[in-house]
Chain A
């Protein structure tokens, strides 16, 4: 068993030594394809992070006709906080509402002089749990609250939420389609490059088959070679995309996030980096397998 494993790996490295140009082409193809894929994935991941940051702002404001008694208020808060979508409920009385309004007006706040705070209604601000920050959840909560006649009006940025959800959907679908397209293109290019390497060795494949090599014996070193090319290409892609990340995304996206009050621009996490290497290996394996089907016929 050990002898056979050593023999297979010796054949892999001999193949690589004997066709360095074709091997470099295969590795280079995987590297370029995965670098492009990773670069776009980084853009999508960071914009999604930005979107999730924005989604923290999703909340329902329920305006009250009259300021409630403390016991009543406690009752309502408990009732609303028990809803599965709700994370937090805060009460904003008329004074607080006036203070906020005044702050928002800034230098023009003197316009409010002479007005009583009572002109602004008290309200309950209802924030959502991360997994329920959506228009659907907001509408569900509002529908339940509408049954209580004490709540006169609701505001939850309906238009903004609609646009925000369309943007998220577009990002998800666009990212998915682009990712699938790039992956398919990468597989096609990698498969064809490996086909070229196999074409260069078609004599060896024919002779192996004529002297009694089994299909598995013929294919295994080429599959290992494909996986090795994929892994090496993925490692180069990791380095390449990190360089692109430093040069373009750190500056470009960071300024966008700064303007929109978002967080930091992030590179791939450890598990995502491992996933990239696994993708490279799988690309190399599938590329080899598809090409071998054409060349190895016993």
Chain B
């Protein structure tokens, strides 16, 4: 599903690389933790996968498509098959939960009845179907992250990328959020989860890709 060949990325010409000569293969339906200390290159790797950044060198293939050669006109269509979850949720505060989750479907030009149905199912799946018309700021941090996950999953993505999704949440909420990622993975979505949280990796052991200073230092499945 995802292949990286000799990928290098540095943000400034003379600075040290954010990623250095990275080679990876992630099969379809895999669940992968990306770990490492701050500045290891976890977020950079995810940004390369949703084309927010371009590598300086190397090739990246997603679902058989070389995204390093992809023109900017085609990037939106790649993102329509990719769910993205952030630590800071990135929800629209002036829109209701329903509107937030419906947003990616509206962008794809789906019919209104289809949007209503899918959004309701996605919010039901994360346990927030009773709060359709609330605004994000009326919810707790854990609930906001569940809305962000519902928004990422409502499009039935091939890949789910999550960048420190539980960084600001307490342990009980973190467990709930991980259950949602596991559920998405069980339905066939390839999940890449960047995290510092060793406790989660211990509780839900899956393949671990460890980065340090932009280099792959470990790749194992416990």
A residues bordering B, Cβ < 8 Å?
Answer: 3-4, 7, 18, 203-204, 206-215, 217, 298
Contact = CB atoms under 8 A, between A and B. Distances in A.
B79 A212 contact: yes
B222 interface: no
A206 B73 CA distance: 16
B90 interface: yes
B107 interface: yes
Contacts of A3: 109, 111
B90 A203 contact: yes
A212 B77 contact: yes
A69 B200 CA distance: 120
22 contacts: A3-B111, A7-B106, A203-B90, A206-B90, A207-B91, A209-B76, A211-B79, A211-B80, A211-B103, A211-B151, A212-B104, A212-B108, A212-B155, A213-B76, A213-B107, A214-B73, A214-B76, A215-B73, A215-B76, A217-B107, A298-B72, A298-B75
B84 interface: yes
B31 interface: no
B94 A18 contact: yes
Chain A binding surface, main DSSP class: helix
Interface in B65-106: 72-73, 75-80, 82, 84, 90-92, 94, 103-104, 106
Nearest to A17: B94
Contact of A203 (B77, B92, B107): B92
Interface residues of B, number: 25
Given A298-B72, A298-B76, A208 B90 contact: no
A72 to B, nearest CB: 81
A209 B82 CA distance: 12
B94 to A, nearest CB: 6
Contacts of A211: 79-80, 84, 103-104, 107, 151, 155
Contact of A204 (B78, B92, B106, B111): B92
Interface in B98-130: 103-104, 106-109, 111
A153 B107 CA distance: 82
Contacts of A207: 90-92, 103
Contacts of A217: 76, 107
B109 to A, nearest CB: 6
A213 B78 CA distance: 10
Contact of A4 (B78, B109, B155): B109
B50 interface: yes
Nearest to B109: A4
B118 to A, nearest CB: 14
B66 to A, nearest CB: 18
B52 to A, nearest CB: 8
Nearest to A19: B94
A210 B92 contact: no
A298 B54 CA distance: 12
A214 B80 CA distance: 10
Contacts of B79: 209-212
Contacts of A208: 103, 107
Contacts of B151: 211
Interface string B37-77: 00000000000001010000000000000000000110111
A231 to B, nearest CB: 25
A249 B181 CA distance: 72
The 10 closest A-B pairs by CB, nearest first: A212-B80, A211-B104, A212-B79, A213-B107, A212-B76, A214-B76, A298-B72, A298-B75, A207-B90, A210-B84
A98 to B, nearest CB: 85
B80 to A, nearest CB: 4
Contacts of B80: 211-212
Contacts of B82: 212
Contacts of A206: 90
Interface string B136-172: 0000000000000001000100000000000000000
A196 to B, nearest CB: 17
